Amino acid sequence: MKKTAPTKPEIALLQPFVGLTLERIHVPTSREEFASAAAEIKAAGIVGFDTESKPTFVTGDVSEGPHVVQFALHDKAYLFQLHRADGRTCLLELLQSEQLIKVGFGLKSDRGHIYAKLGVHFNAVVDLNTVFRMDGYHKEMGVRAAVAIVFRQRFAKARHVTTSNWSQPRLNPQQMLYAANDAYAALKVLEALGLRREDLPIMGLDTTSGTGTTEGNESGPSLDAGPGA
């Protein structure tokens, strides 16, 4: 059965989504901080994920992003800035890991951008657009619509933040809050849906191991099993 996402006016009437506060958002800057963050992220097993890139405003220009990569855990988030060379090894390990499941919206396109920028395969990826499409939502969902459907809440996106300069050396508080909570909301949506790990449409796994699914396999249970759906 075809389902439709709530409209922008409908979403505007909802109560705001409560995300992470600044004190729960960490931006590693040293080799030691990156190593500690990577260890905690790997231990989580499943994390919310997103990337941010400096936007282009001229037709034909190609983005040099991503410039920021976000990993969200149950109670905090880590923002990796790609200009920090001390974090590159840890970041590549996390992106390529098949044991760490990365969950977010629109991640199929991120796989191509990550390969173009970093030359590595982005493995163990769950694109929540695929999950919602499996349940009858035929348009790209996005975090705002998903939060509205699952939690009956409004996820705020300010254009002046989403289109800001993500390549700058230091992120401002508004950028930190937006980037962290984009990934955090994805993780909370997945948790609320209550899907079993083995039912997730995971892209980028070694199918010879007999675990997970490939990008072409999008069968799965109805989202109606999850609370708030």
Query: Rounded to an integer, what is the distance from CA 4 to the centroid of its chain?
Result: 22
User: Looking at this protein, which amino acid is placed at residue 191?
Assistant: E
pLDDT digit string, tens, across residues 121-158: 999 999 999 999 988 987 788 999 999 999 999 999 88
- pLDDT at position 89 is 97
What is the pTM assigned to this prediction?
Answer: 0.87
Query: Measured between alpha carbons, how far is 82 from 170 in angstroms, rounded to an integer?
Result: 12
Q: In this structure, are residues 130 and 217 in contact, taking their beta carbons and an 8 Å threshold?
A: no
Q: What are phi and psi of 122, to 5 degrees?
A: -90, 105
Average pLDDT over residues 4-31: 96
Fold category of 8-225 in CATH: Nucleotidyltransferase; domain 5 (3.30.420)
pLDDT digit string, tens, across residues 162-218: 999 999 999 999 999 999 999 999 999 999 999 998 899 999 887 544 444 444 444
pLDDT digit string, tens, across residues 70-86: 999 999 999 999 999 99
Query: What are the DSSP calls for 70-138, one per residue?
Result: EEE-SS-EEEEETT-GGGHHHHHHHHH-SSSEEEESSHHHHHHHHHHHHSS---SEEEHHHHHHHTTB-
Q: List strands edge to edge, sheet with 68-72.
A: 25-26, 77-81, 68-72, 46-52, 101-104, 125-127, 202-203
> In the predicted model, what is the mean pLDDT of the chain?
88
